[in-house]
Structure 1
Amino acid sequence: MAKLRADRKNYKKAFTTHADAYDKWNIGSPYSQRLLLCYCVECGLKCLIMQDNNIHKISQADDETVKILGSHDFKVLLKKVNQAGNYTFKSFPTEYNDTVGTSDYHQLCRYSIAPANKQITYLTEFDSTLVQIKDWLKEVV
């Protein structure tokens, strides 16, 4: 299956749209809200990567940057914008004893997978870090 083309303007629009929806959220599934936050941060970081590299289309990127732009891993994206050391994420177990980290948190949200022992603090801590990134991105994107 071919991937859809998304340019820097699309990442910026997605970041803005998802951030606004997240910030105005007042009813509905917390997992859906978290998923918006994940995609908001992911799109914002990808936009910033393209901005920092002065590219508008992924086809203008070098091979390493193309690979990074294809990632869902917050650590990988943060590292590319020299911010990995400024944000901390704690991995945690799911109800199935799988480990959730920065590369798969979006899947936990997408599939509404519960944290182990229904420890909601795992989710609130992860979300808190993503909100900090979202707020920083609003200043730089």
Structure 2
Amino acid sequence: MANKRLNVTRREFSDSYRRHYRLYKNTIGDSKTRRLILFYSVECGLKSLIMKNTGNDTYEKLEKYCKGHGKGELVGHNIKEMLKEVNPRNAFVLKNIELKGSGGSVEPKKFNEMWRYGVAVADAREEEKAEYTLAKIAEWLNTRL
């Protein structure tokens, strides 16, 4: 029972999206922290939109729906998969970000970890592009929720 996720409602996801996005827009400071807040804003907004589109009003119902339809990636942090679900034309492209040294690269579903821990990247412009794309997604979500 300790690993069970909170049974968040669609409304709570939507409110979190708006609250986090507002904080992102109104905060000046550490770019990694701001990007982390933006990532979570987009994740919450996408989950709310998926719940709206599938008729699931709680996270528990969404998990059951996803399990039954082979869409388990939608209940994690995989923003790319969530985008495919709600935006099949995939107008928003998020790419892996190369890490400094021989650290490999980070997939978009792990951007939250990269920014949470302050991992150094090979090219800061890649982070800037990811942030720009996430901000565009957040604006797009605002028209859908």
- Shared fold per TM-score greater than 0.5: yes
SS in 1 for 2:90: helix
Query: How many pairs are equivalent?
Result: 138
Aligned to 2:135: 131
State whether structure 2 residue 112 is matched by structure 1 residue 106.
yes
AA in 2 matched with 1:110: R
State whether structure 2 residue 98 is matched by structure 1 residue 97.
no
State whether structure 2 residue 32 is matched by structure 1 residue 31.
yes
How has the CA–CA distance of structure 1 residues 84 and 29 changed in structure 2, closer, same or farther, with 3 Å as cutoff? Answer: farther
Unaligned 5+ segments in structure 2 are none
Report 1:25-104 matches (<5 A).
25-26=27-28, 28-61=29-62, 62=65, 63=67, 64=69, 67-83=72-88, 85-95=90-100, 96-104=102-110
Separation in structure 2 between the aligned mates of residue 93 and residue 77 of structure 1, nearest angstrom: 22
AA in 1 matched with 2:81: V
Separation in structure 1 between the aligned mates of residue 128 and residue 89 of structure 2, nearest angstrom: 20
> Once structures 1 and 2 are overlaid, which stretch shifts more, 45-54 or 98-107?
98-107
Superposed displacement of residue 113, structure 1: 0.5
Separation in structure 1 between the aligned mates of residue 12 and residue 51 of structure 2, nearest angstrom: 11
Aligned to 2:5: 3
8 Å CA contact 2:33–2:116 kept in 1: the answer is yes
Large movers: runs of 4+ above 6 Å = none
AA in 2 matched with 1:42: E
Superposed displacement of residue 24, structure 1: 0.7
Separation in structure 2 between the aligned mates of residue 8 and residue 84 of structure 1, nearest angstrom: 24
State whether structure 2 residue 126 is matched by structure 1 residue 122.
yes
SS in 2 for 1:55: coil
Identity among equivalent positions (%) equals 26
Superposed displacement of residue 97, structure 1: 2.0
SS in 2 for 1:127: helix
AA in 2 matched with 1:105: F
Taking structure 2 as the reference length, what is the TM-score of the superposition? 0.87
